Amino acid sequence: MRRAVFSAAALVGLGTALSRLLGFARDVLVAVLLGAGPAADAFLVAFRLPGMVRRVLGEGGLNAGLVPIDHRIRAEEGDEAARRFAGEALTTLALGLLVLIAVAEIVAPWVVLALAGGYAQDAERLGLATLYLRLMLPLVAAVTLSAVAAAILNAAGKVLLAAFAPVVVNVVLVAVLAALLRVPLADDERATILAVAVSVAGVIQLALLVPALFGGPDRPILVRPRLSPPVRRMLRLGLPGLVVAAASQLAVLVAVQVASHTPSAVSLLYFADRVFQLPLGFVSVGVGVVLLPEIARHLHGAAGSALHDVQNRALEGALLLAIPATVALVLLAGPIVSVLFQHGAFSAADAQGAAGCLAAFAPGLVAAAAARVMAQPFLARENVRVPLLSAAATLVVTWATAVMLEPGWGVAGIAAGVTLGAFAGAGVLALVLAAGDLWMPDARLHRRLPRTAAASAAMAVALIGLLPLAAPSLDPALPPLVRAVALGLLCLAGLAVFAAAAFAFGAVSRSDMERTA
């Protein structure tokens, strides 16, 4: 059974990682195509909302609300009742989404201003962003229904297609971007075509899931939309869970609101955030595959000490990945942004601004990784109040500190506000866990974390020494492939030093590797 659970989790993790890598390639091409000008600012503001919905839902954001209810109905009332619930969930959400999208299309300018209030004084960016948002809103309906379909397939144990269907969106967008690079069009025209492609890609993703959903004996029984007790329970659990899962993305939306008063700031935050999200995605997947299933397995019926041990090992594993990644992002922010984005319309000044944002975002990786672990005991107990309180603290602190830091630090100060908000949210979770006797740091955690920090410091020393040697090969005047190889070798050298130091200092042991193999 544990091997089957691990295999399913590994498939989901692989699908998520592949989707994030393709999304990263998509953003590199957007930077090349549009740079950080008015069309880029407008497109990236408009893409924030559907992009956030897609990311959260594509990584199983609805599973917590739908899968447990499906299993409960299947056990208590039988398979046919579960199939009826699945059909009811589909039709009810489809109707609700049609109404929601129709309203959003009408009030699109106000949605844009809610995302970027500074556009009220910029008619060009407001008009473009409104157009792009209207063209992209169908993606929200398509990916939400895809997420419901994926959750139903997951509940039936069919994880393969559900795990890899979200990859299709980025495959389509990368193909369209590659084609647009060869066509001589204005930036706003390119962005318009890309906005249409976003919605088309979402429809293709949904179309791929439909045959698998309705082609087997567990296919949903479609009934008229209604808010039945199971559907209401799904919404009551699922919607707060989505807010919690999207807390870090909502914090960036708050930052975008503050940044929208400054030209190009929205684009710089976006590209820095996309680099930051890549290691965060791998941290989340790694923790989920190796340790978090153990938390869920021990929540019911485990002794307090056993449960604390599982949670401490989960936190230990998350920070073993997050701490060195944070150090590397801070030290290599300039080379990373330059190598990845400084091409075409994306200038050296744009690269410098985005690198400052990335360095300010980086420490938040530790807080975000810890929060992913510490929220699980609450969500598994169907307690959404504390995670919601944590999310609220994240957003309030992000807004307050971004506003305070922006005058002195510019757009990097806004990014620093996101980091401080992440620590505030993680702090709320830690305090409530400790106060409720739901978590108690043990001696091993106290021992391992300083050793992880020491191994990360050794990596930092190595990277600081290697950077001057690698600088000539990272020169923007060189061919992109040469620069990419140099950056890759620099990252691999840092990883090798960290791994050696982690074993030498005792931050990780051979027995740890054997237990997770």
Residue position matching structure tokens 């839902």? 57
Q: DSSP code of 478?
A: S
Q: Tens-digit pLDDT profile for the chain (517 aa)? A: 344 444 444 555 566 667 777 877 887 788 777 776 788 888 888 887 787 777 666 555 555 566 667 667 777 777 777 778 878 888 888 888 888 889 989 998 998 888 787 788 888 888 889 999 999 988 888 888 887 777 677 656 565 666 677 788 888 888 888 888 888 888 888 889 989 998 998 888 888 888 877 776 677 777 788 787 877 777 776 677 667 767 777 888 888 888 877 777 878 888 888 888 777 766 655 454 444 445 555 554 445 566 677 777 778 888 888 899 999 999 999 999 998 888 777 788 888 888 999 999 999 999 988 888 888 777 666 677 888 899 899 999 999 999 999 888 888 999 999 999 999 999 999 899 888 777 777 888 888 899 999 999 999 999 999 999 999 999 888 888 899 899 999 999 999 999 999 999 988 876 655 454 4
Determine the Cα–Cα distance for residues 296 and 458; give it in Å rounded to an integer: 35
Q: So what's the pLDDT on residue 288?
A: 45
Please give the single-letter amino acid code of residue 66.
Answer: L
Structure tokens at 269: 């935050």
Determine the Cα–Cα distance for residues 316 and 312; give it in Å rounded to an integer: 6
Determine the Cα–Cα distance for residues 422 and 248; give it in Å rounded to an integer: 7
The CA R_g of the chain, rounded to the nearest whole Å, is 23
Determine the Cα–Cα distance for residues 280 and 495; give it in Å rounded to an integer: 16
3-state secondary structure of 80: helix
CA 290 to mean position of chain CA atoms:
19
Task: Classify residue 305 as exposed, middle or buried by CB count within 10 Å of its CB (0-12, 13-18, 19+).
Answer: exposed
CB-based contact 480:343 (threshold 8 Å): yes
Determine the Cα–Cα distance for residues 322 and 281; give it in Å rounded to an integer: 11
Determine the Cα–Cα distance for residues 331 and 340; give it in Å rounded to an integer: 16
Mutual angle of helices 229-245 and 63-77, in 10-degree steps: 150
Q: DSSP code of 508?
A: S
Residue position matching structure tokens 């021992």? 447
- DSSP one-letter string for 20-73: HHHHHHHHHHHHHHHTTSHHHHHHHHHHHHHHHHHHHHHTTTTHHHHHHHHHHH
Nearest one of 355, 276, 275, 372 to 319, comparing CA atoms: 372
Structure tokens at 381: 């107990």
Determine the Cα–Cα distance for residues 366 and 447; give it in Å rounded to an integer: 17
Instruction: Give a three-class secondary structure readout of 234-274.
Output: HHHHHHHHHHHHCHHHHHHHHHHHHHCCCCCHHHHHHHHHH
Q: So what's the pLDDT on residue 292?
A: 44
Which residues have C-beta within 8 Å of that of residue 490, sequence separation ≥ 6?
Answer: 332, 335, 463, 466, 467, 470
3-state secondary structure of 153: helix
CB-based contact 72:65 (threshold 8 Å): no
Q: So what's the pLDDT on residue 396?
A: 94
Helices then strands, counting H and E runs in the chain, come out as 22, 0
